Structure 1
Amino acid sequence: MNYLSVENLSKSFGERKLFQNISFGIDQGQKIALVGINGAGKSTLMKIIMGIEVADAGNIAINQQIKVSYVHQNPVFTGNLTIYQTIFEGSKNETLQVIEDYHKAMLDSEMGKENGDILQRLFEKMDTLQAWDYEYQIKEVLGKLGLHDTDLAVGNLSGGQRKRVALAKAILEKPDLLLLDEPTNHLDLETIEWLEDYLSKANLAILMVTHDRYFLEKVTNQIIELDNGSIHRYLGNYGYFLEKKAERREIEATEQEKAKSLYKKELEWIRRQPKARGTKAKYRVDAFEETKEKAFQKREEREIELNVVSQRLGNKIIEIESLGKSFDEKVLVKGFSYTFKKGDKIGIVGPNGSGKTTFLNMLTGIMQPDRGKITLGQTTAIGYYRQEEDSFDEEKRLIDIVKDVAEVVSIAGGSTITFSQFLTKFGFPPKQQHTPISKLSGGERRRLQLLMVLIKSPNFLILDEPTNDLDIMTLNTLEEFLDNFPGCLIIVSHDRYFMDRLVDHLFVFEGEGIIKDFPGNYTDFREWEKQQKSLQKETPSAKEPALLSSETPLNKNKASFKEKKEFEEINQQIETLNKEKKSLVEKITSGTVDHQALLDWSNRIQEIEGVLEELEMRWLELSELDGIE
């Protein structure tokens, strides 16, 4: 079944053509990634599909029998609604309404209100609609996306929290077609892995814009490339796309060389003919014009060269001694010490809110620690690329922004170039350099922000989420540059491919101020975590204390958040099943003459007793864990 058709779509902004006469479709079950360089028009195309932007020409047809959900790159919510109200605002979902009615009836019952008939009716409707499963899914999605306090007002949320709310809303709407614009931005690594797993298994069609290469590899089965205003389709994942794109480029280069050769021959023929155009073979003249266009077609490659130099780094770089930082009663860093060495390439991982950005702000002097000290070497020059987008004067031209910082730039090899040449090497061609900042795309603004950091030749680079909004070509170039960067490097990133390629070890923020130094990249760390969990399952029970080593964690029996939630859910399930059992027993003893009903009720009671036995065994296991109440 066809879900979406795009036919001969065109869009320009002034003289700049984003795409022209592009056509493609999405069918049931297809999971498609939309890729292309920054400014190619990916986000604009998504907005046109959703009716937020208007195309210059062409048509979009969405199957009226399907449900479509869209997650904006930077979602904005207005009003004073809570997270929960926002997620389900305007929902006509019958299952959701039954769940809400059932919980209200349960609450009334607990307050002593006689509503047994209403509860029984709602209970049966919950069963009919399989609402128990949907309620569990709501809790799982909200929990996995870190939306635990759903009573918070959306107007007070950060950009990352708003993205999570938008994702939760889209997933729980149960769409047939899901449109996602940079879904992994602002998410922590564990959340990305959950979302990746969920989308790869979900029975729905997807069109998404993303630069996350692991995400592309696992979730998508097709890739559409928006390149030079045209669409190129690849039936495969990211690895297949890279291979076939290289082949396409080789074929195009060969065809262009043939066109140039043919153009020279045809040009000689054109010049030998009489000047009066009417005397020449019209079909050959037309063919000549087509050949000329193909031979001299300009590609918008925007090749980026990151070959800036860094200042010399002395023996003393940065020393951290017994660092501590808290906000009220929340400890973010506790007693952390580290001496940076030449060539250190360190990744920082940990859940949102664990103190990563606070740590970087202390390292750069933006924030002062409560305890301990940070000492910088005399030659240490820090370049800090922040997660928040820099604020530029929107009316200023691109070239003026860079000119205010440096007239000339030193590059590798000891030579210098003008700021205009430097902009060109950074993927901003001369024509674009006179563009006002307000006209730049999100990815182009982030690239400008990176340029402003590197132009000062730092020897200690701190990159906080540098991959957000950058296209894959820019990322590849940035990785090459950082791989050969002679100074020290600290990276906070949700891009696992980026981290795996560049870092040698990790600072792992475990919460409650604990930071551990792990020797290896992100994939190494995740594998180590899995091994530790397997070992914990195989460790002796508390009944064999003589076999426990002195290094056994004291909190090995402490309940996790997931186990606490499971305990709460089991309590609710046991209570509900017992009520159902009681209701069925009352029906049986009421003296009905309907033998089939009696048989059905008796069978259901047996099923309930079996489920209760399993739940009660699990309840006993969980009740022994520390933190369960």
Structure 2
Amino acid sequence: MNYVSVENLTKSYGIKVLFKNISFHVNEGDKIAIVAKNGSGKSTLLKILMGKEIADSGTVVINKDIQVVLFDQEIDFDSDLTIDEFMMTLDSAPIQALKNYHKSLLSTDYDFIEKALAEMEIHKAWDLENDMKQILSQLKITDLEAKMGTLSGGQIKRVALAKLLTETRAEHRHTLLIMDEPTNHLDVEMVEWLENYLSKAKITLLLVTHDRYFLDAVCDIIWEMEDQNLYFHNGSYATYLENKMIREDNMNSTIDKANNLYRKELEWMRRQPKARTTKSKSRIDSFYETEKVAKTDTRKQGLELDFEMKRLGNKILELKHIDKSFGNKLLLKDFSYQFQRGEKVGIVGKNGAGKSTLLNIIQGLEKADNGEIETGETISFGYFSQKGLTYKEDERVIDFIKEIAEYYPLANGKSLSASQFLRLFLFDDQTQYSPISKLSGGEKRRLHLMYILYQNPNFLIFDEPTNDLDLPTLTVLEIFLQMFQGSLIIVSHDRYFMDRIVDHILAFEGEGKIRDFIGNFSEYRENQKLEEKNPKAAVIEQKVETPTPAPVSKPQTSKRKLSFKEQRELETIEKEMPELEIQRAKILDQLNNEADYEKISKLSADLEAISGKLENHEMRWLELQEE
């Protein structure tokens, strides 16, 4: 069954064309993810399908037998309503039947009671209340009398999600469910629940998300919006990346051929007299088409590897016996940790567990109840918070960045201009000279991120950096952070992002308890699930404490036993070293057979990154063996 048919759709804002003459169809059972850079028109396309925006040209045909339901990033609600009242504001016949039925229980009007019972039968609303309560319970919403205005951002998101899923059950019609970044502000447990629900549900789905694990689990079709066009990919996120690379390689080949032809035709154009024959006019038209292709810019500027980071001293950051509570809620209890040079730590836990509070305490933005914090003299923090960007009215993007500095230093003595750095983070020349107020929400988020990095800190603290960022920007950010030589703390619910960046987890598990886990995020979740199923089989809890160095004494011949944390670290290193060797060999083989300069630069960067990691692993392995 066809749900939606779109033909030759075009939409512009001023001189900026979002998409031009795109066509597509949505059929029953399709589960589609839309991937694009922020500002490409993803949200605009969704609004056109919802009838909230009007296209410049083209046709949109929605099957009259389906309902279209949107789960938007911005959630509208009345702060004075209770959760129960908010849920009952659903605009559907079954919900209205249920409300009338509840009223009839307090009525003595037999005609009204009879009519209410008939409506319950007609709209099959008897099971709806149970469905609603079940969904609320699964999303950990228990206090239905709580006011909407008292809820946290994550709780509001879950209640809105419960309302949406109830609506799709309430209407016994075909439904197209449109979801714009549904995982933002949800903790990992809720993301996994939603992922499982959507992957199993027999629904038709159009989804915008930056969560790549979520995308792969739920969707099997990817639409890519780029350069005003729409490209279609069947399969996983990895398949999409492969198809995209092939398309760009083909395009580059076409441009090279067009360049060769363009040079020859340009000579002919210069030799031609002013009088033109019909034949020469045809050739002239062809010349301009060739010129257009030849001047197409498909260059993907890669990040440089030699950033000059501010020097880190011997002392980085040490927390000693930190306590923190809010009223009766205990967040941190006797927490001690010593951060090392170049350490990349991921912090995870449920919303409200105290993750952001710890980040504020580290930076002196909030005081601990007890304990001591020692920060190295050379430490320069870069803090990317969940708060929005602050800027002057009508200030241009390029001027906003230049307020920090005209140039970003590189270790080889060279530098990148503010404009070049902006291009690295996918701001083209036109956008750079646009007012910040004209940027999309995602583009402002990207600019905020770039603003932090451009200040060249040596200790980065990121609080949910992936929310509202598009996948191309996430890829750029991941490359940057993998190369970053300073210390890094990331709070994030994005599992894919965490797995790529960190190999050490601090997990907030409630009641002030923080677990120190050596491994990536997926490994931590697997261990956590194993504990839930079989506590006896769980890994022994690791105490979050860095031992105080012992006084210098005479060398001892006997070796001490490795701690549990060190043993886990040694096992991880021994597992990863052969894998890194294989990766290194593959890159060397590719370099030997590659002629394209840009690809050679990218491969060289990858080789340096892997070689550096391998060298660090080898040094640490020797240290642990000597212990």
- Is TM more than 0.5 here? yes
Q: CA deviation at 1:237?
A: 2.0
In 2, distance between residues paired with 1:441 and 1:377?
38
Deviates more, 1:257-266 or 1:343-352: 257-266
Structure 1 partner of 2:433: 434
Does the CA-based 8 Å contact 1:504-1:519 persist in structure 2?
Answer: yes
Inter-CA distance 278–239: structure 2 relative to 1 (3 Å threshold): same
Deviations, residues 388-407 of structure 1 (Å, cap 9, x unaligned): 22222242111222222223
Deviations, residues 441-500 of structure 1 (Å, cap 9, x unaligned): 222211211122122221111111111122222212211221222121111111101111
Q: CA deviation at 1:273?
A: 4.1
Q: CA deviation at 1:123?
A: 12
Q: CA deviation at 1:299?
A: 4.2
Does the CA-based 8 Å contact 1:69-1:177 persist in structure 2?
Answer: yes
Structure 1 partner of 2:418: 419
Deviations, residues 313-349 of structure 1 (Å, cap 9, x unaligned): 1222111111111111111111111111223211111
Q: CA deviation at 1:286?
A: 3.0
In 1, distance between residues paired with 2:342 and 2:428?
33
Does the CA-based 8 Å contact 2:154-2:186 persist in structure 1?
Answer: yes
1:129 aligns with one of 124, 134, 139:
124
Structure 2 partner of 1:611: none
Counterpart secondary structure, 1:497: helix
Corresponding letter in the other structure for 2:516: D
In 1, distance between residues paired with 2:152 and 2:276?
66
Counterpart secondary structure, 1:277: coil
In 2, distance between residues paired with 1:105 and 1:374?
63
Counterpart secondary structure, 2:274: coil
In 2, distance between residues paired with 1:159 and 1:534?
30
Structure 2 partner of 1:454: 453
In 2, distance between residues paired with 1:52 and 1:189?
32
Deviates more, 1:403-412 or 1:454-463: 403-412
Structure 2 partner of 1:493: 492
In 1, distance between residues paired with 2:406 and 2:380?
20
Q: CA deviation at 1:125?
A: 6.0
Structure 2 partner of 1:34: 34
In 2, distance between residues paired with 1:484 and 1:402?
22
Q: CA deviation at 1:186?
A: 1.0
In 2, distance between residues paired with 1:93 and 1:124?
9
Determine what percentage of the aligned residue pairs are the same residue.
49
In 2, distance between residues paired with 1:437 and 1:305?
26
Counterpart secondary structure, 1:413: coil
Does the CA-based 8 Å contact 1:332-1:511 persist in structure 2?
Answer: yes
Structure 2 partner of 1:605: none
In 2, distance between residues paired with 1:161 and 1:308?
40
Structure 2 residues not aligned, in runs of 5+ = 169-173, 542-627
TM-score (normalised: structure 2):
0.78
Deviates more, 1:425-434 or 1:397-406: 425-434
Structure 2 partner of 1:343: 342
Corresponding letter in the other structure for 1:149: D
Corresponding letter in the other structure for 1:131: W
Q: CA deviation at 1:124?
A: 12
Inter-CA distance 508–79: structure 2 relative to 1 (3 Å threshold): closer
Does the CA-based 8 Å contact 1:319-1:376 persist in structure 2?
Answer: yes
In 2, distance between residues paired with 1:516 and 1:498?
20
Inter-CA distance 86–452: structure 2 relative to 1 (3 Å threshold): same
Q: CA deviation at 1:66?
A: 0.4
Structure 1 partner of 2:217: 218
Structure 2 partner of 1:370: 369
Inter-CA distance 83–251: structure 2 relative to 1 (3 Å threshold): same
2:146 aligns with one of 152, 159, 163:
152
Structure 1 partner of 2:555: none
In 1, distance between residues paired with 2:79 and 2:276?
67
Does the CA-based 8 Å contact 2:463-2:490 persist in structure 1?
Answer: yes
Alignment of 1:277-292 (within 5 A): 277-292=276-291
Does the CA-based 8 Å contact 1:82-1:154 persist in structure 2?
Answer: yes
Structure 1 partner of 2:584: none
Does the CA-based 8 Å contact 1:305-1:477 persist in structure 2?
Answer: no
Corresponding letter in the other structure for 1:322: H
Pairwise CA RMSD: 3.1
In 1, distance between residues paired with 2:125 and 2:56?
46
Structure 2 partner of 1:11: 11
Corresponding letter in the other structure for 2:205: I
Q: CA deviation at 1:179?
A: 0.8
Deviations, residues 125-180 of structure 1 (Å, cap 9, x unaligned): 68993734x43432232233343333334345444344333322222111611111
Deviates more, 1:223-232 or 1:395-404: 395-404
Counterpart secondary structure, 1:246: helix
Does the CA-based 8 Å contact 2:97-2:125 persist in structure 1?
Answer: no
Q: CA deviation at 1:77?
A: 2.7
Structure 1 residues not aligned, in runs of 5+ = 540-549, 552-629
Structure 2 partner of 1:169: 163
In 1, distance between residues paired with 2:21 and 2:109?
65
Corresponding letter in the other structure for 1:135: E
Inter-CA distance 168–308: structure 2 relative to 1 (3 Å threshold): farther
Alignment of 1:457-496 (within 5 A): 457-496=456-495
Does the CA-based 8 Å contact 1:304-1:474 persist in structure 2?
Answer: no
Corresponding letter in the other structure for 2:456: S
TM-score (normalised: structure 1):
0.78
In 2, distance between residues paired with 1:285 and 1:323?
75
Counterpart secondary structure, 2:457: coil
Counterpart secondary structure, 1:131: coil
Inter-CA distance 538–322: structure 2 relative to 1 (3 Å threshold): closer
Structure 2 partner of 1:51: 51
In 2, distance between residues paired with 1:171 and 1:332?
32
1:139 aligns with one of 133, 138, 147:
133
Inter-CA distance 17–419: structure 2 relative to 1 (3 Å threshold): same
In 1, distance between residues paired with 2:260 and 2:87?
60
Number of residue equivalences = 534
* Alignment pair present for 1:526 and 2:525: yes
Does the CA-based 8 Å contact 1:382-1:458 persist in structure 2?
Answer: yes
Q: CA deviation at 1:382?
A: 1.4
In 2, distance between residues paired with 1:190 and 1:399?
40
Structure 2 partner of 1:353: 352
In 2, distance between residues paired with 1:123 and 1:525?
52
